[in-house]
Amino acid sequence: MEVNVTRDTGFYGMGSPITLRVDDRKISLGQNQSVTLDIEPPFQMQVTFFWLKSPVYTIAEPTKNYRITMNLLLLQLYPLLFLFTGISAIVIQSILYSLLIVVVIIGFFLFIKNKAYVIKEASDEEF
């Protein structure tokens, strides 16, 4: 069965390719790049970019089109976290507060690193 996969991750990491792993194959995808795979179900898909990953998706009944996107939680919280960190560090000038913020950022990274990408089913109109 032919399956189309498109990377649509926005401006985050658009200059660097991500790796799509389908079973034992590795495919490099640039921004807005599509690839057509001829695979038989069931198969597993995962996206990786350095430490950031998607969950491993096991596809038993595939659809024709898939879209790789960034996790919405990451897109919403990442800029706010850094903006809040910068502003609050200027307002509250305490080494303990700064250390707490560093721990919060590391905690957020550890929480989101294995859920940073999402592989969604896409309709023919979206594709």
Assess if residue 56 is contained within a domain: yes
Give this prediction's pTM: 0.82
CATH number of the domain to which 19 belongs? 2.60.40
The structural domain count of the chain equals: 1
Q: How confident is the model at residue 96 (pLDDT cuts 50, 70, 90)?
A: confident
Q: Which residue has the tokens 């038993």?
A: 60
Range of the domain at 105: 2-122
Assess if residue 127 is contained within a domain: no
Mean pLDDT of the chain: 88
Q: How confident is the model at residue 114 (pLDDT cuts 50, 70, 90)?
A: very high
User: In which region does residue 122 sit, left (phi positive, over 0), alpha (psi from -120 to 50) or beta (all else)?
Assistant: beta
Task: State how far the Cα of 127 lies from the Cα of 108, in Å rounded to an integer.
Answer: 32
